[in-house]
Structure 1
Amino acid sequence: MALIVKKFGGSSVATTEKIMNVAKRVLSEKQPGDQIVMVVSAMGDTTDDLIKLAEGITKDPYQYTREMDMLLTTGEQVSISLLAMAFKTLGQPAISLTGPMAGMKTNSVHTKGRIVDITPQRVHEELDKGNIVVVAGFQGSDEFGDPVTLGRGGSDTSAVALAGALKADTCEIYTDVDGVYSADPRIVKDARKMKEITYYEMLEMARLGAGVMQPRSVEMGKFFNIPIHVRSTFTNKPGTIIREDYTMEDKDFVIRGVAHDEKVAKIAVLGIPNTPGIAHEIFSALADANIDVDMIVQSIRNIEKNVTDMVFTVATDDLG
């Protein structure tokens, strides 16, 4: 008997056929007495399609961040309702809950929200009734009740945070790859799949561009000390376990893997006064706009005139 949180991404639930296959797989693996919580993303390219709809209204829809969250949270509601129907069709009691219904509380930073509290009382109540609980990932609500999304990959964070709040035995992340590799297997053909990796190593790889996990979800796993099993939706092979430390001898690598990120924009601020406080002025403004800065390079342009150049990188989504 175990309490298990299972997260399925958009490619896993892209069609109604795939949704039925997910439901059948979960039921085939369910042991007597197990309590199952599902966290689900929007179907396939739904989020991208919703963004395109908004771009049909305005070239810069993200200037209206609250309305974008109101729009984007509808994608997960479609997939959770269909998956709950799939379970019921197969004879398994189930219920769908939005992020706020599941007790997911966030700050008020729309489109880039952070989880501030989780009170999953409703989830416990539905599990006690014998339901499989299907929760919308990627979303919560702020103190005003407004919908807030957690950024790209936020369903991973929803799943791990919910697993921690529920004191689950494990959190399983199902995706279109069968684990964490030493490099992107689509580019490096002989990349090695890792049986285990630590939270710290996975966090570093995620921050450097490894798209298999969102960095915040790894942080949540470490905070709650919840083992995270990254595995494939389409095979039954074991995946990669993300945990505090290794349980096997697979730990003697000086380098665990190589990550890359193509969604990076470089910004150069040229000819600014080389005076104390100028860097703070630039980066505090970015911080106030909730924009993360990665690499920073400062170089003297002209010693006599005491001016400098400041170059830094941000995610392309933050470029505008």
Structure 2
Amino acid sequence: MLIVQKYGGTSVMNCDRIQNVANKVAKCAQKGNSLVVVVSAMSGVTDEILGYGHHFTPLPNEREMDMALSSGERITAALLSIALNNMGLKAKSLSGRKAGIKTDSVHTKARIKYIDTTYMRKLLSEGYIVVAAGFQGVDENGEVTTLGRGGSDLSAVAIAGALGADTCEIYSDVDGVYTTDPRIESKAKKIEKISYDEMLELASMGAKVLLNRSVELAKKWNVKLYAKSSFSEDVGTLITGEDNIMEKPIVSGIALNKNQARVSLYGVSDTPGIASHLFNTLANANINVDMIVQTVGRDGKTNLDFTVPKDELEKAKLCLATYKDATLEFDTEVAIVSIVGVGMKSHSGVAAKAFKALADENINIMMISTSEIKVSVLVDIKYAELSVRILHSIYELDK
């Protein structure tokens, strides 16, 4: 079998843990499997490098930050390769460039365009364990790019898809996908199987087990994806197609995203194309907008409310500086709580049940957004975790 494994920052945070990973990799290789191992930077290293960059300016040059940030994964890859070679195994570490990962030119959040697998296939045919630095690639000009926070997941899934791997295993410090964050709700249960679409919604709304872009890519390539723990032999959670899940619960999980800021524009000119111009401006700055609410004001004016990630708020403020006729307000003390489940497609009243439960606890809902399998609400951050526990209980996810 050809297996792609990815190990996150907590799994490789020091030499002892890198040795633990080496032991797991060796055990898998000794069963006759071919292996590509994708690694993150050691826990805390990426934040440390970001801190260095922000020492000089709140908005450091993104090309230079990519040069700095990409070093963390390369260090881990080389150290793991050293450990494996010391155990008598053939291993070779590769940067994103050597792994053939080609991206667009959007620094700090690049998208993978394709992967040239020629060199990796050559190494695998020669019996090497390939150890690839995650989170990075190069654009058409050879410039180093990074894929954004959690991008090592994306690297692993993309490599698995490009190589036609039998399975892709994502290792972290948790042993699978839970109905909600166990640190918030102790009654959270591990999910044995979950659909790509449900996992995509949970990941996009704050569940940190997998990056949403990696789930999207896994669905596209039909990659058999597992979420496992580096510190146990548990089988973890299988992320698969909806057709492979016999019983589809109405609600599978509750997600919480605290990395959100609310932006409010009051008194914008109510003319055709104003929303298009505003959100195109944000899109051109690569700012992700989630919830959007527009209300009609008075005297030819309108009001717009939307949410953006907190770490993109400063860029959003720069984009909105041109709207001098509007009143701008920003609120970072908010969070998005989401209910996710494929069973919602065929059941009514799911949202109403949530709204009533929150109202009974005097929790005010500021904004609402929905999809076929998700209902999200924006609430005051001080009520965020309480909201998660309430919703987890009313949908009986602890049973």
TM-score, length-scaled by structure 2: 0.77
Superposed displacement of residue 48, structure 1? 0.3
8 Å CA contact retained: 2:39, 2:131: yes
For 1:235, what is the secondary structure of its paired residue?
coil
Superposed displacement of residue 161, structure 1? 0.5
Which of 312, 320, 330 is the aligned partner of 1:318? Answer: 312
Partner residue, 1:33: 32
CA deviation map 1:39-75 (0-9, x unaligned):
00001100000011112222322xx111110110011
Which of 289, 293, 297 is the aligned partner of 2:285? Answer: 289
8 Å CA contact retained: 1:181, 1:191: yes
Equivalent runs, 1:225-304 vs 2, <5 Å: 225-245=222-242, 247=244, 249=246, 251-302=247-298
Stretch of structure 1 that moved more, 151-160 or 52-61: 52-61
CA deviation map 1:259-315 (0-9, x unaligned):
01000011111111111110011001011111111000111232xx12111110011
8 Å CA contact retained: 1:299, 1:309: yes
Q: Give the letter aligned to residue 267 of structure 2.
A: G
Stretch of structure 1 that moved more, 24-33 or 286-295: 24-33
- Is it true that 1:219 corresponds to 2:216 in the alignment? yes
CA separation of 1:235 and 1:32: change in aligned 2, threshold 3 A: closer
Stretch of structure 1 that moved more, 282-291 or 51-60: 51-60
Percent of pairs with identical residues: 47
Equivalent runs, 1:202-217 vs 2, <5 Å: 202-217=199-214
Q: Give the letter aligned to residue 18 of structure 1.
A: R
4+ aligned runs moved over 6 Å, structure 1: none
Partner residue, 2:371: none
For 1:252, what is the secondary structure of its paired residue?
coil
8 Å CA contact retained: 1:65, 1:111: yes
Equivalent runs, 1:157-172 vs 2, <5 Å: 157-172=154-169
Gaps of 5+ in 1: none
CA deviation map 1:54-98 (0-9, x unaligned):
12222322xx11111011001111100000000011111100001
**How many angstroms apart in 2 are the aligned matches of 1:120 and 1:43?**
26
CA deviation map 1:92-135 (0-9, x unaligned):
11000011111100000000100011111111111111111000
| Bigger Rg over Cα | 2
**How many angstroms apart in 2 are the aligned matches of 1:13 and 1:87?**
14
For 1:276, what is the secondary structure of its paired residue?
coil
Superposed displacement of residue 29, structure 1? 2.9
**How many angstroms apart in 2 are the aligned matches of 1:168 and 1:111?**
27
Partner residue, 1:57: 56
Superposed displacement of residue 247, structure 1? 4.1
Partner residue, 1:139: 136
For 2:157, what is the secondary structure of its paired residue?
helix
**How many angstroms apart in 1 are the aligned matches of 2:103 and 2:40?**
18
Partner residue, 1:72: 69
For 1:140, what is the secondary structure of its paired residue?
strand
**How many angstroms apart in 1 are the aligned matches of 2:56 and 2:201?**
38
Q: Give the letter aligned to residue 313 of structure 2.
A: L
- Is it true that 1:85 corresponds to 2:82 in the alignment? yes
8 Å CA contact retained: 1:295, 1:313: yes
Stretch of structure 1 that moved more, 29-38 or 162-171: 29-38
